[in-house]
Every structure is written in structure tokens, then in C-alpha cells.
Chains A and B, each alone.
Chain A
């Protein structure tokens, strides 16, 4: 994979026949996966993917290290997303405090933490849950959504995300944690009824 990537970038920069089509074929869906997560609309996400590829070709010279291709593209995509959303109304940025993300208390004043993590895969990996996760991510304020998409969905490192977003690694960690907490909270509300009567597994 890594070898293929290096080859692809050098073919692309050398103007080799077929490199353009291969690159677009491979990276358009990847950029779309990110921009769709950020925008939530297919049309907007396709626009962002197009704008990203366009910018990428225009700045092809500035890509020095082929292994940085992913983060380089995502940084361009991130900027394209921000531009897109400056025009439309974006949900106002809401700072989430840890306090508001702490688990609630049950009737006896004990933390109410239903453990749904051991539900069988059929319950956690189905299309309905996919939709719940999509909605939970979509409801996050943009800055949290961006970090969660890059870090967990795209599986980039803390350092890579910091470079793409232009914030410190500490800030990436803080925002990722809050984003995960908020998604966990949503999933818990959805899954809680399913484990209500079920015996707790050891």
C-alpha cells in the first residue's frame, strides 16, 4: 500500500498516463467520506470533494512527501468545508463542558451507567445503529465533529489531526474526548431500553 502510494504520487507528479484517473478514482471517495461527515449532505460533500481535488491539482508542487498525501488532502478538504459552511448557516459553536457530559444519577443518587457494550454484534453493528451513529456525529458542533471524524473515523494520529486542524495536540485530545462522550451519551439513550430487563453479564 505504502509502496503503491509513493508510486502513485510520483506518477502523478511526473504526468504519467493513467495516474490522473487512478488518483481521482481512489481519493474522491475518501475525501467524500470526510466531507459527507462534515456537511451531512451528499451534494455539499460532492462539491467539497471536487473543490479539494481541484486545489490539490493546482498545488501538486507543494506535496513533497508522498506519505503525507492523506493529511495534505484532508487539510485542503477541511478548508474547503469551512469555506462552504461560511456561506450556509452552520450550527453555532457550543462549548461542551465535562460537567454536562457526566453520567446522570438514578433514583437513588447513584450514577446511571447502563453498560450496553456487551450487547451482541447483531444489535450494535446493524443499519439502524449505523444511522444512530451518523446522527450522533452530525449533531456535534463542527469543531468536535471534525476532530472525531479525523481521529476515529479516518483513524489519523493525534499529531496528524493537530496539523490538519491547526490546533495543539492537547486541544485535539480534549475535543476528541468531549466528542466521544457526546456520541456515547446519544447511543446510551438509544440502547438503554434494550438492556433494561436483560441480566448483567459477568
Chain B
């Protein structure tokens, strides 16, 4: 949109040349659908898509099912849960945690004693 040089008087024919995508076709739209659903597209691209959707039933059906797919994935939770933590595994974690606390404490004290 923002051309740096704009020479007055010299109206370029380019202004009338077809915009890069006169009409977005199904294939182009297909590539953008997730970004469209996630509101990650610029407004111009969105209105291009919406214009296409007005009279393309297969793309509407495709968009609907893709939207539903993402929705189902968001709601999906694995049926399996982890088994309770075994005692030795918990001890292993606690040891790592306590070691981290100790080294942190000594660092804090080290920096304090310097002041």
C-alpha cells in the first residue's frame, strides 16, 4: 500500500492491473484455513476468504469440519492417567529438589556475605 515514491501526474496503469489474487481459489483458501480459524490472518485475507465461502459449498463444509476437528482436539483428554508415583521415584525427585534448594541457599548466602 505504501509506495515510497509517488510521482504526481504519472498515473500508472499498474493501479488498474489485477490485484495479485483476483479471486482466491479453493486451493489457495485451503492453505489458509487454520490461520483463518485462529484469527491469524490480516483483515484483507479474511474478507477474501469470506467472499469465496459465500458461493463455495465444499469449502464451507471443509471449514466447518476443520473447525470442529480443532475443537475436538482442544477437548480431547487422554483416557489414561499416570499411575501413582512409586515411592522410590518420589524419593529420587525429592533428592534432586533438596540438592537444588541447598545449592540455592549456599549461593544466596555467598552473595550476601560479599555485600
The yes or no verdict on A and B being binding partners is yes
Binding site for B on A (CB under 8 A): 13, 15, 20, 24, 28-29, 32-33, 36-37, 42, 45-46, 49-50, 53-54, 57-61, 98, 102-103, 110-111, 113-118, 124-125, 127, 129-131, 133-134, 137, 148, 152-153, 155, 158, 173, 176-177, 180-181, 183-184, 187-188
Can you name 7 A-B residue pairings with CB atoms under 8 Å? A15-B104, A37-B78, A57-B97, A111-B26, A129-B72, A177-B33, A183-B69
Complex contact A36–B80 (CB within 8 A): yes
Complex contact A125–B75 (CB within 8 A): yes
Across the interface, B34 reaches (CB within 8 A) one of A36, A57, A180, namely: A180
Complex contact B26–A32 (CB within 8 A): no
Total interface residues on B, CB under 8 Å, equals 48
Complex contact B96–A180 (CB within 8 A): no
Complex contact A24–B62 (CB within 8 A): no
| Chain B hits for A183, CB < 8 A | 69, 73
Complex contact A117–B64 (CB within 8 A): yes
CB distance from A95 to the nearest CB of B (A): 15
List of 5 A-B pairs having minimum Cβ-Cβ separation, nearest first: A177-B34, A115-B61, A152-B73, A117-B64, A111-B58
B27: Cβ under 8 A from any A Cβ: yes
CA distance A10 to B101 in the complex (A): 12
Of the listed residues B61, B73, B99, the one surrounded by the most CB atoms of chain A closer than 10 A to its CB is: B73
CB distance from A81 to the nearest CB of B (A): 15
Kindly supply a per-residue 1/0 record for chain B positions 58-89, scoring 1 wherever the CB is within 8 Å of any chain A CB and 0 otherwise.
11111011111110111111111111010001
Given contacts A20-B97, A37-B78, A50-B92, could you give 15 more A-B pairs where the C-beta distance is less than 8 Å? A20-B94, A32-B81, A42-B83, A46-B82, A50-B89, A98-B27, A111-B62, A117-B64, A125-B72, A127-B79, A134-B79, A137-B76, A153-B76, A177-B34, A187-B69
Across the interface, B78 reaches (CB within 8 A) one of A33, A53, A54, namely: A33
Of the listed residues B40, B60, B68, the one surrounded by the most CB atoms of chain A closer than 10 A to its CB is: B68
The majority secondary structure among interface residues of chain A is helix
Of the listed residues B38, B61, B94, B104, the one surrounded by the most CB atoms of chain A closer than 10 A to its CB is: B61
CA distance A118 to B74 in the complex (A): 17
| Chain A hits for B40, CB < 8 A | 158, 173
| Chain B hits for A181, CB < 8 A | 34, 66
Complex contact B73–A153 (CB within 8 A): yes
B90: Cβ under 8 A from any A Cβ: yes
B100: Cβ under 8 A from any A Cβ: yes
CA distance A118 to B96 in the complex (A): 51
